[in-house]
Amino acid sequence: MSTLQNKVAVVTGGNSGIGYAAAEEFIARGAKVVITGRNRQAVEAAATELGSGTLGITANQASITDSVQLANELKTTFGQIDVLFVNAGIGSFLPVEQVTEDQFDETMNVNFKGAFFTVQKLLPLIADGGSIILLSSVNAFTGMPGASVYSASKAALNSLGRTLSRELASRNIRVNVVNPGPIKTPILAKAGMDEDNIAAFRKKFAERIPLSRAGESAEVAKLVAFLASSDASFITGAEYNIDGGLTIHELVG
Ligand code: NAD
């Protein structure tokens, strides 16, 4: 399926989890892919593993300087880009009483402020008719205890997607938001949870998910690749839950 043939697609946080799977899916559909991440070695190793000329660029999404540098490198290498998948994000889960200013700032700086300025700095490079996809979470509109800052950082992205879809419609740039439920990636381990806690967390969720399991990164990647392609040419300002039915189950009990 060559729905992204000769398109240039940028994936922030593309060295792991959902971002890596999206990069794989974009490549399978014919795109030239650029992945970013903070850790140079991890980004370069992932780019090599992805193959097909994938370019790895080290850029911290929380740094506006890095986003400007990323835009410069993309301009020099490609001139313009067609798809921007703003995927990089971190999870940090604490009860409200325990949240520190540093934890608040780090989460907001990567997940929202960084996402915002990544879009702003790369926007001049996005071709008319291009596609922006913002990776949010079902946390954006659920009230999961311990996720106050994370959820707010994601809800801000959903709001941003709605506004951008209006602002960029005149250039036929479509902006959509994807809200995954629990997906099997390293994100919980990176948030400091040990294996037993992760297993217990997944089991608790699986009991509440109508499809009785966590999702796979590749399943999210297929939705993202659809939204990136002209198959989704009349879809903008939309958001998609991809959660095995979790959210609707929570709403109706
Ligand atoms: P992951 O930890 O495997 O991937 C996160 C990616 O973001 C990595 O490539 C990491 O290097 C990158 N990243 C983190 N901080 C960065 C920074 N400051 N600058 C650049 N890159 C940075 O986890 P994942 O689950 O694949 O997460 C991807 C996105 O999906 C995140 O935005 C996350 O909030 C969201 N999400 C995940 C789930 C889930 O259950 N896994 C559910 C809903 C939403």
Q: Mean pLDDT across the stretch 144-169?
A: 98
Task: Using most ligand atoms within 8 A of CB, pick from 90, 112, 202, 219 the residue to mutate for ligand 1.
Answer: 90
Q: Mean pLDDT across the stretch 37-47?
A: 98
Query: Which of 19, 150, 188, 223 is flagged as catalytic?
Result: 150
Task: Using most ligand atoms within 8 A of CB, pick from 185, 213, 216 the residue to mutate for ligand 1.
Answer: 185
CA of 163 to the centre of ligand 1 (A): 23
Give yes or no for a contact between 246 and 180, defined as CB atoms under 8 angstroms apart.
Answer: no
Which protein residue has the closest C-alpha to ligand 1 atom 2? 187
DSSP, res 43? H
pTM value?
Answer: 0.98
Give yes or no for a contact between 119 and 176, defined as CB atoms under 8 angstroms apart.
Answer: no
pLDDT of residue 251 exceeding 80, the answer is: no
pLDDT of residue 169 exceeding 70, the answer is: yes
pLDDT digits (tens, 9 = 90+) for 129-150: 999 999 999 999 999 999 999 9
Q: How would DSSP label each residue in 135-192?
A: E--GGGGS--TT-HHHHHHHHHHHHHHHHHHHHTGGGT-EEEEEEE-SB-STHHHHTT
Q: Which residues line ligand 1 (CB under 6 A)?
A: 12-13, 15-19, 36-38, 60-62, 87-91, 110, 135, 137, 180, 182-183, 185-187, 190
Gyration radius (Cα) of the chain, Å: 17
pLDDT of residue 124 exceeding 70, the answer is: yes
Q: Indicate the length of the chain as a whole number.
A: 253
Query: What pLDDT sits at residue 253?
Result: 67
pLDDT-based confidence at 201, cuts 50/70/90?
A: confident
CA of 124 to the centre of ligand 1 (A): 25
Tokens of 191: 């948030």
Which CATH superfamily is 8-187+217-244 part of?
NAD(P)-binding Rossmann-like Domain (3.40.50.720)
Q: Counting atoms of ligand 1 from 1, which one is nearest the CA of 138?
A: 43
Distance CA 211, CA 218 (A): 16
* Catalytic site includes residue 150: yes
212-233 per-residue burial string, b: 16 or more CB within 10 A, e: under 16: eebbebeebbbbbbbbbbeebe
Q: Average pLDDT of the chain?
A: 96
pLDDT digits (tens, 9 = 90+) for 84-120: 999 999 998 999 999 999 999 999 999 999 999 999 9
CA 113-117-123 angle, to 5 degrees, is 150
pLDDT-based confidence at 191, cuts 50/70/90?
A: confident
